[in-house]
A and B are shown apart, each in its own frame.
Chain A
Amino acid sequence: MTSATRALQAAGEGRLELQALVAALSRRYTVVSGPRLLVGRVQLDTFDRRLRAEGLALEHQRLATGELLVLRRPGAASAVAVPVTGLRWPALVEVLPTGPIREAIAPVIGVRALMVTSDEKRRMRRLELHNEDGKIVARVELDEPASGAGAPAQVTVRSLRGYDEEARRADRLLVGLGLQALDRPEDREPSSAPPKSGPSRAVPARLVLTKALIDYLMTIRENLPGLLDDVDTEFLHDFRVAVRRTRATLKLGRPALPDAMRLEWEPAFRWLGDLTTPVRDLDVYELDLPVMSQWLVTADPADLEPLATHLRGRRTSERRVLVRSLRSARFRRLIMEWGEELARLLDGSGDADCEPLSAGHLADRSITRAYRRVARGGALIGADSPAEDLHELRKRCKELRYALEVFDALIDDAARKRAVDDLKEVQDVLGRFQDTEVQRRALREFAGEMMADGTTAGAMLAMGELIGHLDVEQNRARREFDVPFARLVRPSNRHLMHQVGGAT
């Protein structure tokens, strides 16, 4: 297997001459030069760069002789190449041929689509360096831009496992020719960035809130194109999370923000959140359907095909409504004016009517209050509590979570982590409870619609089985609630949450 030793380029404005390279390397090796290839090199990753986060690099190479998908892994940087045909981007992992590349990246990218992050045409020539046994002991790649634009020409020496010394020798021969090491950004170790310095507790709360709101607005803007193009379901998900965080921040920030926020912007973002709910719900059903089909005991998974068709149809029409709204003047105005509003808040010109609270004070107040509401709401939950009460409690938990996130720079990391870990467990149980509740209700609704469309009896029976399974799951979630909740409100945690909330 191969790995790059280092890349070299000509000094100054000098050119890389193939003949000179071959002559230098021939002093020690038998050099076999491959044909000059024009290669289209398309770098791929998900929108949120999941491959890069795992140290993976995926490239779609288009050559005259065919197409290759090349995956470089971290560590040994060994590359796996598989032939492919007819791939177009963006695309979900399912379009990749089954095999090692798909197996390696599927768990990393999940439901996200692969998108083009850069696209460049290069001229490449590969040289093989053979020893006296005729064995290839190193490879050298000459890589030039196909046109004037693009990264400059470079030579990469690729070492072969067990023959590292030969690659170093080849490198020395090329350096002797006057080539210089190329400092490629992707080869550099991450710079030792200065430690994150958060705002102090004395900073005006308005500033901390506004910065968080600006971040959420950026997320909304970044995800909009992928959402409109329906690249993958996560664009809508991330868009919705940013909207939800905006709403939660506006709510918890009421004491420190101008009244206009509550009167004008809270309803505006409620509208935006509600707008996206139907499509997201349908996405969740579609994504969950393969798992749900495994619950079936008596029915056949194929019996759910009419449900899948129904979901797709519903999603198409709901998406049409969503896209129309997101292309509307109302939405464009909302985003534009919200940006302007935040800019005014940031420079202090829009906060004449708000209370001059410090960030520390608001953090204390918000976190303590949110925690108290969670503790009080959770204590009232019993075996007979209606589903609405659990749903309300879930919302309170989310508010506490957002408060911990918005003010995370003011809170001790270890304390926050412990608080969030316990909170997450409660949220997980409540999430399962609520999801099963919503799914049960939705399945009944879909069943009614499908009956009207004359669906099969098999589909109805299979859906009935799913509802039965959801009942069992919901009861299980309810039974499991007490333990994580007791952990969240135990005395040591209560003390911790007050500490996190800054009551010191």
Chain B
Amino acid sequence: MKVLATYNIKGGVGKTSTAVNLAYLAAREGRRTLLWDLDPQSAATYMFRVRPRVKGGSHALVTGGRPIEAALKATDFDNLDLLPADFSYRNMDLELDDTKKRTRRLGQLLKSVEDDYDIVFLDCPPSVSLVSENVLHASDTLLVPLIPATLSLRTLDQLTRFVADSEGSRPEVVAFFSMADRRKRLHRDVIEAIPRDRTRIADTVIPALSIIEQMAERRAPVPAFAPTSRAALCYEELWAEVRPF
């Protein structure tokens, strides 16, 4: 079972869109796929029309009071299940802090479903927290969407250092540009100038397109409701670059 996390310290950079679309594409090719919406804002959960509710909340999941299998929900798409968000996830840091091996608890929880899934996507909240540290330890790959702006590069540096400083096994960091507007000179310049020697930067650039914003309205992944759209093709290209199989 491979674990991919979409993560960035900043919010609104396209983490959820990426997690939802790539999870859909993995499932479409027959991989048994799970998406865990770790963000209490529950955007991914909403997009799959699932109610953002986990019995017992974050506490029950983290303490093992309720097995994660009991909280899983099938989506409308074959091979794709969701572990929904719950508003109580806002307290997940506190719950994790009370457990043994507090930085590895999420990875331990995922072990219980490793025979059921080929790939797990973690859609992470935008923060540096105990949840983030858990995600680092649980993941094989950290997918980092970046808006092409100077500050984003600084954020990537911070994140790369955060990963490098973490103990134990570290995920591969793969950054990619998201919400890019080639009409903006700054965006073009940043995409050209980003140093590619320290962190792997995917060749695929996800453009800022209104059809991606429509995901929340259509409540479905882009390749499901607009399979021939440019956005769908871009996500397919990105998936081809980062797929672990």
Q: Which residues of A contact B (CB under 8 A)?
A: 1-2, 76, 78-82, 99-101, 128, 133-136, 160-163
Contact = CB atoms under 8 A, between A and B. Distances in A.
Most buried by B among A79, A80, A81, A99: A80
Interface stretch (B26-34, B101-109, B135-143): B26-34
Contacts of B72: 161-162
B196 to A, nearest CB: 29
Interface in B200-220: 219
B81 A1 contact: yes
Contacts of B245: 99
Contacts of A81: 30, 78-79
Contacts of A128: 76
B132 to A, nearest CB: 27
A76 B79 CA distance: 12
A452 to B, nearest CB: 46
B118 interface: yes
Interface of B: 29-32, 48-51, 71-74, 76, 78-81, 116, 118, 219, 245
A39 to B, nearest CB: 16
A101 B78 CA distance: 14
9 contacts: A1-B74, A2-B74, A2-B78, A80-B30, A128-B76, A135-B48, A135-B49, A135-B50, A163-B74
Contacts of A101: 30
B214 to A, nearest CB: 15
A163 B31 contact: no
B140 to A, nearest CB: 17
A288 B190 CA distance: 53
Contact of B73 (A80, A82, A134, A162): A162
Nearest to A159: B74
Contact of B29 (A2, A82, A134, A160): A82
A128 B77 CA distance: 12
A76 B74 contact: no
Nearest to B83: A162
A-B CB proximity, top 9 nearest:
A162-B73, A160-B74, A135-B49, A161-B74, A82-B30, A100-B30, A136-B76, A80-B30, A133-B49
Given A100-B31, A100-B118, A133-B49, A161 B79 contact: no
Contacts of B76: 128, 135-136
A2 B73 CA distance: 10
A26 to B, nearest CB: 19
Contacts of A80: 30, 32, 79
B79 A1 contact: yes
Nearest to B34: A1
Contacts of B49: 133-135
Contacts of A160: 73-74
Nearest to B82: A162
Contacts of B80: 1
A99 B74 CA distance: 22
A136 B219 CA distance: 12
A78 B29 contact: no
Nearest to A73: B32
A162 B48 CA distance: 13
Nearest to B78: A81
Contacts of B71: 162
Contacts of A1: 32, 74, 78-81
Contact of B32 (A82, A100, A162, A163): A100
A255 B47 CA distance: 78
Most buried by B among A1, A78, A133, A134: A1
A144 B245 CA distance: 38
